[in-house]
Amino acid sequence: MILLHLVHMISLRFLTASLCASSMFLSACSTVPMTDDQAAAPPPDQAAMTATSEASSMAPVTTTCPVANTDPADATVTYTNSEKGISFAIPYNPHWGYADAPLPAFSEHEATDSSPLGYVLFGPPTSATTEGLGNSCDLVQSYDLAFLPTRSAADAVKTIEGRGTDVVPNTSVRTINGLTVVQYKDVGLCNYPTMEVIGKKYNYSFTTSCGGDPTEEWKYLETIVNSIKL
């Protein structure tokens, strides 16, 4: 979350005179005589100063962020949550993120209004601003697992297609690695390829970040689902 502040320069003579005028100890202040050059100088153009100040305050704020490491994954980390009844393999690179603040393989988060049973972020880094989760230089993992109450594939399709959105998700029901999966594109800031795995204790909704290549996103999600153990 960086602002540039405009600094106004005030002359030493003006500052001293102002302090003397407001001080209770006027006898402690001394008067600095004006030179001929100072006396001849025209008063500052207040309108021009105001215009310059307003123009500067309206100038766009630019932020220079460190270079983040987004190299391909070269390792695998297993996420296990016995309470939620799931484990799966996460492709990972321990150098992802900034040199002085690498991203973990995953991060677990408490319940929110949109994910009342909690969620997990994992995968390569993406901008937190893009995901609506932080400031311009902040990074988060680019994939999301949201825990859902158990429901059948038919109920999931009915609920998903019954949402009051401008775009009706094109749902399909698949079997991947022996698991029943409802596949569709969720709708928000952009379209999010999503796979909801029908589970025993919970259902598991795997979603991508905003703006990725859909073909690659579907491939990544299928890799994740193929590694799931319930």
Confidence of residue 197 (pLDDT cuts 50, 70, 90): very high
Tell me: pLDDT of 199 over 70.
yes
Confidence of residue 145 (pLDDT cuts 50, 70, 90): very high
Count of Cβ atoms closer than 10 Å to residue 33 Cβ: 7
Domain residue limits at 18: 12-57
Same domain membership, residue 86 and residue 52 = no
Is 41 domain-assigned?
Answer: yes
The predicted model gives 193-211 an average pLDDT of 92
Is 63 domain-assigned?
Answer: no
Structure tokens at 23: 């001080």
User: Left, alpha or beta for 183 (phi > 0: left; psi -120 to 50: alpha)?
Assistant: beta
CATH of the domain at 208: 3.40.1000
Is 7 domain-assigned?
Answer: no
Same domain membership, residue 47 and residue 149 = no
Number of domains present in the structure of the chain: 2
26 CA to centre of own chain: 55
Confidence of residue 25 (pLDDT cuts 50, 70, 90): very low
Tell me: pLDDT of 81 over 50.
yes
**Residue 127, CA atoms < 13 Å, CB-side half-sphere:** 13
What are 204-213's pLDDT values in tens digits?
A: 999 997 767 8
SS3 (DSSP) at 196: strand
Same domain membership, residue 94 and residue 30 = no
Same domain membership, residue 179 and residue 86 = yes
Of residues 133, 107, 110, the one with CA closest to residue 122: 107
Same domain membership, residue 114 and residue 20 = no
Is 173 domain-assigned?
Answer: yes
Same domain membership, residue 209 and residue 104 = yes
